[in-house]
Amino acid sequence: MMVSAWIGLPFALLVAGVAAAQTASPQQTPLTYAEASARLRTSSSLSRAAGYGVDAASEQAAAAAGLRRPTVSLDAQAIRYRKTFDISLTGALDKAQSELGAAIPGLISDLPGIPGDILQTVGQRLQAALPEIFAALPTDVRLEVEDTAFRPTLTALQPIYSGGAIPALQRAAAANVDMAQARRREAMDLEGVNLARAYFGQVLAAEAVRISTDTRDGFDLHLRNAQRMEREGVLSHAQTLQVQVARDASQRQLDRAQLEYDNSVQSLGRVLNLDDGVTPTTPLFVNRTSVGPMDVFIAQASQSNARIAQAQATRDLAEAGVDLAESRFRPTVYAFGTYNLNPDNALPTEPDWAVGIGARYTLMSSIDRRRMAGAARSQAQAAGELERQARDDARLLVTRAYNQAELARRQFLSMDSSLTAATENLRVQEIGFREGESPVSAVVDARNLLGAARLQRAVAAYEYDLSLAALLAAASSPQTLNDYLQRDDRISAP
């Protein structure tokens, strides 16, 4: 999970690159962080795309669930055909000759009025003539049939044993669903971190503009006082120029802060799909007490981290591939049935219906099945290693985000005294300057130190909020940033 890019940023980068917002334009939509989160769930194209991916994988799994059901198909063919039959009559003629020769005496013995010697002579002559009579008959007959036929047939095929291919395909489909769900969860986690970055980045930007404006206005006052004191001869022109340089530098810092604020408005508007921008109404915050034990977040990550879930799904998919590859070594058994819906127009050799059981075993394949099975096992082993790496990475991300959040929280809490001291120091230096006891440089430094202290406190709160969002995403925690916003120990900044 690429949340590590949003934690541990150097303080100087945050001060220079994250700016602030001032008064919102009338077109901007005011939103709390909870409202912004709710809008993100409905307006995010990335989340919707991930949701469609889950729907597609679920439909594929539902389709694979029916692989054990029979396949019934209806075929219809209109054909023109010719069929030749060669029929041998030799055996039939020999049998007929033998049977007729044996039957002749009985046939002529019943003839009335004919003497017996004549009947005997006739029988002998018939017996002698039989071979010649049958010899004249053809011994082979060729029949030719030419016709047009319409063949509608209903066929059913029921798998009985697939060698393990069907369970493997169903397991792969289930793994694809798990993969799609993990990707959707990762997309939502990353979007949550991105929302925290953009939302609280604009809040920090607003504070940076206010701080820069206060600093510039303070130097305007110092410059007016210095110019007055120079006219009265109390202050040298060089010291007045020193205040002028500090005032101009504060104006440049304000201009930069305003530019960065405008950028932050555009960034949050793009995240929430609001062209006119958003006015955040939830301030930066820090919880006074710890976010919770680190072990709890590590345990949550081991159970539900999106990257770990993807790695597990990848391993399941690879193991299903092993089962599928090994199924190629086994036979398949199936039942079948066919029914001719137009038996009166069937071909002479076609049955009206047929049912049976069949088996198929591949003796030789153009693909080396052993090597394919070996490749599948290697992929499963690689997936197992990637899963272990994902668990280690998730633990590291949780640890880093947790430590960063805790560090930012402690820094924020420790800055109250620094802010009080910087405010008092500026007050003392201003009094000393008006009374001629403090040099111009002391007042300039005091003013800049106060602005830096205020900005450091706001940056610490921003780092806490962003690190906390990254921690919750890395752990795939059931808690949200809104849960921490509702805690009684929340401290708003400024």
Q: Find the range with the poorest average confidence among 252-266, 295-309, 429-443.
A: 429-443
8 Å CB contact between 58 and 177: yes
Measured CA distances, 117 to 122, 128, 285 (Å)? 9, 17, 139
pLDDT more than 70, % of the chain: 85
Per-residue confidence (pLDDT) for residue 90, from 0 to 100? 73
Per-residue confidence (pLDDT) for residue 418, from 0 to 100? 87
DSSP state letter for 68? T
8 Å CB contact between 494 and 450: no
Q: Is the sign of the CA dihedral 181, 187, 189, 192 positive or negative?
A: negative
8 Å CB contact between 285 and 465: yes
pLDDT at residue 61 tops 70: yes
8 Å CB contact between 20 and 210: yes
* Average confidence (pLDDT) over 237-246: 90
Q: Tell me how far apart the alpha carbons of residues 456 and 70 are, in angstroms, rounded to a whole number.
A: 70
* Domains of the chain, CATH where assigned: 4-67+163-328+367-493 (1.20.1600.10), 70-86+146-161+332-364 (2.20.200), 90-137 (no CATH)
Look at 108 and 353; give whichever has higher pLDDT. 353
Q: Tell me how far apart the alpha carbons of residues 49 and 78 are, in angstroms, rounded to a whole number.
A: 47
pLDDT mean across residues, the chain: 85
Q: Tell me how far apart the alpha carbons of residues 391 and 397 are, in angstroms, rounded to a whole number.
A: 10
**Element (DSSP H or E) covering residue 427:** helix 369-434
Q: Tell me how far apart the alpha carbons of residues 355 and 158 are, in angstroms, rounded to a whole number.
A: 11
Measured CA distances, 172 to 135, 210, 314 (Å)? 73, 57, 9
Q: Are strands 490-493 and 284-287 parallel, antiparallel or unpaired?
A: antiparallel
Whose CA is closest to 17, among 447, 409, 462?
462
* Average confidence (pLDDT) over 435-460: 87
Q: Tell me how far apart the alpha carbons of residues 441 and 434 are, in angstroms, rounded to a whole number.
A: 13
The model's pLDDT over 451-467, given as tens digits with 9 standing for 90+, comes to: 999 999 999 999 999 99
Q: In sequence order, what DSSP letters do the residues of 236-288 get, joined into one string? A: -HHHHHHHHHHHHHHHHHHHHHHHHHHHHHHHHHHHHT-TT-EEE-SPEEEES
- In single-letter form, the type of residue at position 245 comes to V
Look at 92 and 169; give whichever has higher pLDDT. 169
Phi, psi of 380 (to 5 degrees): -65, -40
- Residue 81 pLDDT grade (very low, low, confident, very high; cuts 50, 70, 90): confident
Q: At what angle do helices 294-304 and 306-327 cross, to 10 degrees?
A: 30
Reduce the DSSP state of residue 482 to 3 states and report it: helix
Measured CA distances, 387 to 177, 392, 490 (Å)? 17, 9, 37
Whose CA is closest to 198, among 19, 50, 43, 23?
19
pLDDT at residue 233 tops 90: no
Residues in the chain: 494
First to last CA, the chain: 31
The model's pLDDT over 343-390, given as tens digits with 9 standing for 90+, comes to: 877 776 778 889 999 999 999 888 889 999 999 999 999 999 999 999
pLDDT at residue 474 tops 80: yes
Q: Tell me how far apart the alpha carbons of residues 414 and 409 are, in angstroms, rounded to a whole number.
A: 9
Whose CA is closest to 412, among 455, 370, 375?
455
Per-residue confidence (pLDDT) for residue 123, from 0 to 100? 67
Tokens matching residue 224: 């007016």
Q: Is the pTM of this model over 0.85?
A: no
User: Tokens 């219809």 label which residue?
Assistant: 76
Whose CA is closest to 209, among 37, 451, 5, 2?
451
Q: Tell me how far apart the alpha carbons of residues 438 and 428 are, in angstroms, rounded to a whole number.
A: 9
Per-residue confidence (pLDDT) for residue 69, from 0 to 100? 92
Residue 173's Cβ-count burial label (10 Å; 0-12, 13-18, 19+) is buried
Q: Tell me how far apart the alpha carbons of residues 45 and 49 are, in angstroms, rounded to a whole number.
A: 6
Three-state secondary structure string covering 304-342: HCHHHHHHHHHHHHHHHHHHHHHHCCCCEEEEEEEEECC
Q: Tell me how far apart the alpha carbons of residues 37 and 482 are, in angstroms, rounded to a whole number.
A: 9
* Beta pairing partners, 225: none
Per-residue confidence (pLDDT) for residue 443, from 0 to 100? 83
pLDDT at residue 136 tops 70: no
User: Tokens 């939509």 label which residue?
Assistant: 29
Reduce the DSSP state of residue 141 to 3 states and report it: strand
8 Å CB contact between 485 and 282: yes
Tokens matching residue 118: 């004549």
Tokens matching residue 420: 């009080």
Q: Tell me how far apart the alpha carbons of residues 34 and 46 are, in angstroms, rounded to a whole number.
A: 19
* Average confidence (pLDDT) over 23-43: 83
